[in-house]
Amino acid sequence: MQSFIAAVVQLRSVPDKPANLAEASRLVTEAAAAGAQLVALPEVFAWRGPHDRERAEAETVPGPITEEMGALAKRLGIHLVAGSILERAADEARPFNTTTLLGPDGRLLGAYRKIHLFDIDLPGRVSIRESALRAAGKRPVCVKTQLGCIGLAICYDLRFPELFRALGEQGAEVVVMPSAFTRATGQAHWETLLRARAIENQCFVMAPDQFGAAASGFEDYGNSLIVDPWGKVLARGTDDRTEVLSAHLDADLLARVRRELPCLEHRRL
């Protein structure tokens, strides 16, 4: 891994794809102008609206959104994690929730389909069944790049340490996790789990999050974070506004943490 500036973009997506893409492009450009070489957008950044429109709004990967984001990455000369989009696949009726990594030449370097789907039913309180709307991915994705080895995860995946361990076994030095984390669960667990995943796997974790009320009626937490391998928060967002957060990811720190506390080498299970 080399040292570089990384940035996460926090925003609130609406049921207007052109407007979302324009806002995302503006904010990614702002991050790159400030020196970021890796920029990450939140989950479902390009379109977020009523559940009954999700299948109609889904696109292929590669497809129009990834091509537009790839062109942006090439123009800016950066690596770009294009949040996640609803991916239409020929062999599955439900769309996948898919994040993509685009290189500074505009190429699609990797795509990860969210494995863990958020299903919860609290009678009289709340019912969410993501699996009824979206298909689940099957494999972890880690991509070797000029900057370092980048692992990909999405939102609810945060609660499953075995996925992060699998990314670590593939060599992940940075894990990027686009999210739309709910306010209630975010207030209780967001920072704690992000810092734990970084500490356990001795890697940087970047978590761009949506904020504010979504079309579904749920409110997202914001508080986007960048965490270092020692668990230190390098950048933190607010809970109520669009913003770009950046931090220096220090390769020497990563190497020192892994050398001085070699717990990854001490594993027995």
Q: What is the mean pLDDT of the chain?
A: 95
Does the pLDDT of residue 216 top 90, yes or no? no
Active site residue 74: no
Q: Return phi, psi of residue 232, to 5°.
A: -80, 135
Rounded to whole angstroms, how far apart are CA atoms 117 and 51?
Answer: 15
Per-residue pLDDT tens digits for 87-105 = 999 989 999 999 999 999 9
Give percent of the chain with pLDDT exceeding 90: 89
pLDDT score for 241:
96
Per-residue pLDDT tens digits for 37-61 = 999 999 999 999 998 899 999 999 9
Rounded to whole angstroms, how far apart are CA atoms 143 and 79?
Answer: 11
How far apart, in Å, do the first and last CA atoms of the chain sit?
Answer: 26
pLDDT score for 127:
67
Active site residue 155: yes
Q: Which CATH superfamily is domain 4-260 in?
A: Carbon-nitrogen hydrolase (3.60.110.10)
- Tokens at residue 145, please? 């790049």
Q: At what angle do helices 191-201 and 161-169 cross, to 10 degrees?
A: 30
Per-residue pLDDT tens digits for 72-84 = 999 999 999 999 9
Name the residue type at position 259.
Answer: R
Name the residue type at position 93.
Answer: A
pLDDT score for 124:
61
> Maximum distance among all alpha carbons in the chain?
52
Written in H, E and C, the secondary structure of the chain is: CCCEEEEEEEECCCCCHHHHHHHHHHHHHHHHHCCCCEEECCCCCCCCCCHHHHHHHCECCCCHHHHHHHHHHHHHCCEEECCCEEEEECCEEEEEEEEEEECCCCCEEEEEECCCCCEEEECCCEEEEHHHCCECCCCCEEEECCCCEEEECCHHHHHCHHHHHHHHHCCCCEEECCECCEHHHHHHHHHHHHHHHHHHHCCEEEECEEEEECCCCCEEECCCEEECCCCCEEEECCCCCCEEEEEEECHHHHHHHHHHCCCCCCCCC
Which residues have CB under 8 Å from 124's CB, separation 6+?
Answer: none
Model pTM score: 0.96
pLDDT score for 3:
98
Per-residue pLDDT tens digits for 103-143 = 999 999 999 999 999 887 666 666 677 888 999 999 999 99
Paired with 129 in beta bridges are: 119
Spot the catalytic one: 23, 43, 54, 191: 43
In which band, very low, low, confident or very high, does the pLDDT at 25 lie, cut at 50, 70 and 90?
very high
β-pairing verdict for 225-227 and 233-236: antiparallel
Spot the catalytic one: 17, 57, 142, 155: 155
Which stretch of 66-75, 118-127, 156-165, 209-218 has the lowest confidence by average pLDDT? Answer: 118-127
pLDDT score for 224:
98
The dihedral through the CA atoms of 188, 190, 196, 197 has a sign that is positive
In which band, very low, low, confident or very high, does the pLDDT at 242 lie, cut at 50, 70 and 90?
very high
Q: Which residues of 10-24 are buried (b: 16+ CB within 10 A; e: fewer)?
A: bbbbeeebeebbebb
Active site residue 149: no
Spot the catalytic one: 114, 130, 173, 191: 114
Determine the average pLDDT of the residues in 236-240: 96
